[in-house]
Amino acid sequence: MRIDKAEVIVTSPDRNFVTLRLTTDEGHVGLGDATLNGRELAVVAYLKEHVVPLLLGRDPAAIEDIWQFLYRGAYWRRGPVTMAAIAAVDMALWDIKGKAAGMPVYQLLGGASRKGLLAYGHASGKTTDELFDSVRAHLEQGYRAIRIQTGVPGLKAIYGIASQGADAGDADVRYDHEPARRGALPVEEDWDTRAYLRHLPGVFEAVRNEFGPEIPLLHDGHHRMTPIQAAKLGRSLEPYDLFWLEDCTPAENQEALRLVRQHTTTPLAIGEIFNTVWDFKDIIREQLIDYVRGAVTHMGGISPLKKTLDYAAMYQIKSGMHGPTDISPVGMAAAMHLGLAIHNFGIQEYMQHGARTNEVFQQSFTWADGMLHPGDQPGLGVTLDVDEAGKYPYAQAYLPYNRLHDGTMHDW
């Protein structure tokens, strides 16, 4: 078998997605997600200019060799643009291998280790009342684990809080699902860590009082704290039994987690912006985290993320793959196949794509009783309707950023 066509398809149904579509001489089509939120076209150029010409004529069965060729052969390793591009190739090749074998990808990865994947959704609200409504809406949708994000008194706008979308008056702005916003420039938000640290424990106390002790609750700190602030937050949240505290400190400084770890038993999750096993190596070996947040799309594909998670398994560290709406349905499918197959699955983030996205990408996964399953179609189980995709041209969109009250840029 040979790869005889490689197309890079950009579409923006509810938001921007970059998809690599490989076709073989035997007519098999493989899809890979290469979406890098807010920097999408850099990956498009990387793929079109430097990867597509290297793929044509190759045997698509040689997944590991092609991965090593693209990673080692470039000399310039790692980084979000490079690794999203390689991830798309890896996913598309697993998709083709599955279709050629007549098997879903999870079977090729060792078969199902469980019936389905526990998934968590994003509840949020500016106020505690709005937050409670959002939690109730998620429970009605069947979610059995919920991330809690809330407004902070004195701050105007915070990432991931639903009601800002309504304020913006723009039906296309899905703040309830995703903070990226279409427009020529990113939106500025404000931040005050001390106000946040004062406010959050009371919110979790209220949520536990209202919804009981059983439901797994999660929280995303979005890289905003110093190590000592993160330690303090982790400790103050201990009575509310979090499933995890995510990205408590900026991810570049992995040693920061040692300090956090010494002070709190709140479980820690990190890694949605990590690209390779090297970003995880020390924090896994030192057991500084409990969950690996890497996404298939941003970690270079199914192959390297499986290796990373197998390594994590030796330390009882589990998966918690990133699953926001900027992971395309193809990237989500890849995560579901991998999560179903590995022994150390923890939880899957699941935000739900919009109706237009689901028309562009037809998907075989199921969502029932709070659990995801990738389905049993050969390959990844996603088809891309190219005509439908063509209706939605690329639209510039950025994540927001934030500044402190004195104007200083802060971590987002």
Please say which residue, 6 or 84, places its beta carbon nearer to ligand EZ4: 84
Compose the 192-231 pattern: x for residues touching ligand EZ4 by CB under 6 A, - for all others: ----------------------------x-x---------
Token pair belonging to 187 = 């939106």
Q: With both helix axes pointing from N to C terminus, report the angle between 227-237 and 256-263 in degrees, rounded to the nearest 10.
A: 30
Residue 294 Cβ vs ligand EZ4, minimum distance, rounded to whole Å: 12
Touching ligand EZ4, residues 37-76 (CB under 6 A)? 37
Q: With both helix axes pointing from N to C terminus, report the angle between 80-101 and 63-73 in degrees, rounded to the nearest 10.
A: 170
Touching ligand EZ4, residues 317-336 (CB under 6 A)? 324, 326
- Sole window of 5-13, 51-59, 115-123, 216-224 interacting with Co ion (rule: CB under 5 A): 216-224
Please say which residue, 251 or 382, places its beta carbon nearer to Co ion: 251
Please say which residue, 174 or 222, places its beta carbon nearer to ligand EZ4: 222
Q: Does 176 bind ligand EZ4 (CB under 6 A)?
A: no
Please say which residue, 99 or 293, places its beta carbon nearer to ligand EZ4: 293
CA distance 128 to 134: 10
Token pair belonging to 314 = 């030796």
Q: Which of 118, 116, 123 is nearest to 140 (CA)?
A: 123
DSSP for residue 49: I
What sign for the dihedral angle of Cα 238, 244, 250, 255? positive
Residue 37 Cβ vs ligand EZ4, minimum distance, rounded to whole Å: 3
Please say which residue, 272 or 290, places its beta carbon nearer to ligand EZ4: 272
Residue 324 binds: one of Co ion, ligand EZ4, none (C-beta under 5 to 8 A by kind): ligand EZ4
Residue 37 binds: one of Co ion, ligand EZ4, none (C-beta under 5 to 8 A by kind): ligand EZ4
Partnered with residue 270 across adjacent β-strands are: 292
Instruction: Please select the residue that binds Co ion; options are 95, 189, 220, 279, rule is CB under 5 A.
Output: 220
DSSP for residue 379: B
DSSP for residue 27: S
Q: Does 411 bind Co ion (CB under 5 A)?
A: no
Residue 98 Cβ vs ligand EZ4, minimum distance, rounded to whole Å: 27
CA distance 70 to 392: 30
Shortest-Cβ-distance residue relative to Co ion: 220
DSSP string computed for 57-113: T--TT-HHHHHHHHHHHTSS--SHHHHHHHHHHHHHHHHHHHHHHTSBHHHHTT--S
Touching Co ion, residues 257-316 (CB under 5 A)? 272
Residues carrying an active site annotation: 159, 222
Please say which residue, 69 or 394, places its beta carbon nearer to ligand EZ4: 394
Asked if 89 and 63 count as a contact pair (C-beta separation under 8 A), the reply is no
Label residues 127-138 b or e (16+ Cβ within 10 Å = b). Answer: ebebbbebbeeb
Residues of this chain that interact with ligand EZ4 (CB under 6 A) are 37, 160, 179, 220, 222, 272, 324, 326, 399
Residues of this chain that interact with Co ion (CB under 5 A) are 220, 272
